[in-house]
Structure 1
Amino acid sequence: ILDPTKVTRTALQNAASVASLMLTTEAMICEAPKDDAPAGGGMPDMGGMGGMGGMGM
């Protein structure tokens, strides 16, 4: 027979144990995020646009 109170108490004790372990360690192992998307392309050039005319002094 499972006692719900004991199950809850055990779950809370285990959660507190894991939390204290995480607080006392300086590093944690986790899964690195996946970088599936390719890098974005550069900006296109200005095509056939001329320079800035009329700026001569």
Structure 2
Amino acid sequence: MLPWFMMYDHTNYARWGPVYQADLKASEYAAPEVFKEFIEGHFAVRLKENAFNGVPVDKLLSE
């Protein structure tokens, strides 16, 4: 994905994309509990206890 940011002249994404990627790679050691939960697929928000109502955190609109 990072080469596409450069190619399409998205300067801010091209600048901060590698930093974000390095943070994600370091999360295994910096926050092992959070990393474990992400690996297990617990990265969705559920407002109600139903089977198929999980929403990714970045798409959540608070009530």
Whether TM exceeds 0.5 here: the answer is no
Q: Name the TM-score, length of structure 1 as normaliser.
A: 0.31
Q: Name the TM-score, length of structure 2 as normaliser.
A: 0.28
